Amino acid sequence: MGKVFFLKFKFLNMNKELFARFINNECTPEEIDRVVKWLQNEAGTIDGKAIIRQIWNDFPQTDIPHSIDYERILDSIHHDISLSRSDKIKLISPVGNSQKKVKWRFFSILSKIAAVLFLPLLLYFMFTYIITDKPFLSETIKPVPVNIEVKSPLGSKTYLELPDGSKVWLNYGSCLKFPQKFTSQTRTVELQGECYFEIAYNEQKPFIVETGEIQVLVKGTKFNLMAYPEDAVIETTLKTGKVILQRKVSDGNVQRIFEMEPNHHAIYLKEEKELTYSIENPDKYISWKDGILIFRDDPIDDIVKKLSRWYNVDIKLKDKELSKYTYTATFVDETLPQILELLKIATPIKYTISSRIKQDDGSFSKRKVTISLNRRME
């Protein structure tokens, strides 16, 4: 190209003459290696960027060919490679100078190929590097998956759509982790808490919900999953489709333990590692997403646990005898005092509700509810 450079390179003994020889395909293999190392290691520095910018500015547009006869280039490459093969066959004898000539001939061919095919790419990367301020990459770097974590605060529900179009409702105090994009062979998410799923169907990419020891495998269905870490059970309720419950075993594999049908309600006991199931109306376990609490002969222990999460309060049962009471009721938009009054009418209980206390950091503590047996009404 006959281009004159006025910059002095400061890294790896780089100078304008060396880079000019590189551009004009006059470098030895050792010099090519020096230039490549500079591009990899030093081009990202402030001085390196300034050098690249000046090099780009020093190249007039007329120096870059607008059209290239690739057919002629390929013919020339093939011809040189054929000559190289012939020379190597002839010079197999282990004579020092002859081996060096063969090696130089091979690198000479590579440098010619680089001069024809690599130079336009080099100039292009220089230009985009300056404009976009992106560093040269010495190797292929795979993008790091971005994980998203959605938490539903206590006392509120959260609705979201996953990258595959699946719809998700998070109950109070629940957390769901999922990738920004499902790129693996499965669509895997992690749940702590309670969630109602409407999964977009994809036969080629099953949907998996991780809850610690238990996995729920689905392809396209509607189901509810309750898996709070502090609870002794994991409950799954299937509305439509099919789901497969799997348990992780010690060797890292999973063991299939139950295949659910619509209206199945499965309870997995964490401590006992046992599973039971029954046929239930799924609305009882799913209606929470619509702001409705349904109880059907549920013990007071289960009711206060749900009320605690629903209203973000601490509820304590003072008397053990209370555990014998069960309730059947449907609550829609009632306040906590209203629900407690209804429970009080149905059974001999009494309750107290404490006020919130302001903390040192300016926040307020949870209200505390104490339920005890009203022995006067027994």
* pLDDT value, residue 344: 93
| Tokens at 180, concatenated | 């920004």
How remote is the C-alpha of 290 from its chain's centroid? Answer: 29
The correct answer on CATH 3.55.50.30 for the domain covering 292-377 is yes
* Angle, helices 16-23/29-41, rounded to nearest 10 degrees: 110
187 phi/psi in degrees, rounded to 5: -100, 95
Q: What span, in angstroms and rounded, lies between the C-alpha atoms of 80 and 239?
A: 70
* pLDDT value, residue 6: 37
Write the pLDDT tens digit of every residue in 126-135. 555 544 555 5
Write the pLDDT tens digit of every residue in 346-357. 999 999 999 888
| Tokens at 8, concatenated | 């002095």
| Tokens at 51, concatenated | 């050098």
Residue from 125, 103, 122 nearest 35 by CA: 122
Residue from 269, 207, 275, 274 nearest 241 by CA: 207
* pLDDT value, residue 106: 44
Q: How confident is the model at residue 37 (pLDDT cuts 50, 70, 90)?
A: confident
Q: Hey, is 84 helix, strand or coil?
A: helix
297, containing H or E segment:
strand 292-299
At a CB cut-off of 8 Å and minimum separation 6, what does 83 contact?
A: 105
Mean pLDDT is lowest, of 33-37, 51-55, 356-360, for 51-55
Write the pLDDT tens digit of every residue in 78-108. 555 444 444 434 333 344 444 444 444 444 4
**254 has a pLDDT exceeding 50:** yes
Q: Hey, is 377 helix, strand or coil?
A: helix
| Tokens at 216, concatenated | 């729920």
214, containing H or E segment:
strand 214-218
In terms of residues, how long is the chain?
A: 378
Q: What span, in angstroms and rounded, lies between the C-alpha atoms of 212 and 374?
A: 41
The correct answer on CATH 1.25.40.10 for the domain covering 147-286 is no
Q: What span, in angstroms and rounded, lies between the C-alpha atoms of 315 and 349?
A: 14
Q: What span, in angstroms and rounded, lies between the C-alpha atoms of 142 and 300?
A: 53
* pLDDT value, residue 305: 92
Taking phi first (over 0 means left), then psi (-120 to 50 degrees means alpha), and beta for anything else, what does residue 362 get?
left
Beta-carbon-side half-sphere exposure of residue 253 (alpha carbons within 13 Å): 4
How remote is the C-alpha of 250 from its chain's centroid? Answer: 25
Average pLDDT over residues 26-44: 73
Q: Which residue has the tokens 């209206």?
A: 263
Beta partners for 226? 194, 235
Residue from 171, 221, 164, 219 nearest 197 by CA: 221
Q: What span, in angstroms and rounded, lies between the C-alpha atoms of 281 and 208?
A: 24
**300 has a pLDDT exceeding 70:** yes
**369 has a pLDDT exceeding 60:** yes
Per-residue CA distances from 49 to 63, 130, 132 (Å): 21, 7, 12
For residues 223 and 167, is the Cβ–Cβ distance under 8 A?
no
Per-residue CA distances from 36 to 12, 138, 199, 204, 222 (Å): 10, 10, 50, 44, 56
Q: What span, in angstroms and rounded, lies between the C-alpha atoms of 266 and 269?
A: 10
What are the structural domain ranges in the chain? 16-132, 147-286, 292-377
| Tokens at 306, concatenated | 């749900």
312, containing H or E segment:
none
Q: What span, in angstroms and rounded, lies between the C-alpha atoms of 27 and 257?
A: 67
User: What is the pTM (predicted TM-score) of this model?
Assistant: 0.61
Residue from 221, 269, 226, 270 nearest 241 by CA: 221
Residue from 167, 157, 222 nearest 194 by CA: 157
Average pLDDT over residues 267-271: 95
